[in-house]
Amino acid sequence: MRHLMTALAAAAFATTAHAQSSVNEPSSGVAFPVELTGANGSSQVLSGTGLRTRTMLKVKIYAFGLYVDAAGARGALGSFAGKTAAQLGADATFYDAILRMSFPMSLRLAMIRNITGEQMSEAFDEALRPRVVAAAGRNMPGGEAALTTFRGYFTLDRLTEGAELVFTCTADGTLHSTVVGERKAPITSRALCWALFDVYLGREPITPSGKVNAVSRMPQIIGG
């Protein structure tokens, strides 16, 4: 019976997603499509959105959307089916399960403020470097070298308002990146994949409210 209910919920979500083509991140108004073709060409659905701000003035930098492979998420997160968005958002074990990185996921970033490529590179380095070091202790070595390659993807002079970045990690630990429409060479690094998503979904996220909002649609995906 539970499998039937999950299947029915998934079908209902697919119907709703088809009818609703986009969702706005509430604080910025940035629209996110409910379906996304990941940087590796895979089809994924929107799990939720969030907002990245900096400084005490809460300057808006970019909005982000979390996308997941629906079938993979249902298979990996089926034990959480039936919980509400509020329950999932407060459940540390749920985020731990997502961060096992056992199914394809994407992050789509939409710039709200103009910044330089170097500023974005430095911001990623600040957030990712301690995490790739931590990943080595989790039996995921090689993250620092992968991060050096990743930083090189932001050599462009400026990321202007409306510019998009899409990062997709597959279950085998390969990061596919598209930066302002340009596909970059894939980076095979489970450490870097884990670190990137841990920035938004881990125990110390860069935006706690964004972490919760990023899974707000998960009950519909996995069967709520």
Model pLDDT for residues 28-46, shown as the tens digit of each residue: 999 999 999 999 998 999 9
pLDDT at 110 over 70: yes
Domains of the chain: 2-222 (3.50.70.10)
Q: 207, exposed or middle or buried, with CB in 10 Å at 0-12, 13-18, 19+?
A: middle
Listed in sequence order, the DSSP H helices in 82-154 are: 85-89, 92-98, 117-136, 143-151
**Residue-wise pLDDT tens digits, 122-148:** 999 999 999 999 999 999 999 999 999
pLDDT at position 2 is: 45
- Global pTM? 0.90
Nearest to 33, CA basis, from 112, 111, 108: 108
Residue 176 has pLDDT above 70, yes or no: yes
pLDDT at 15 over 90: no
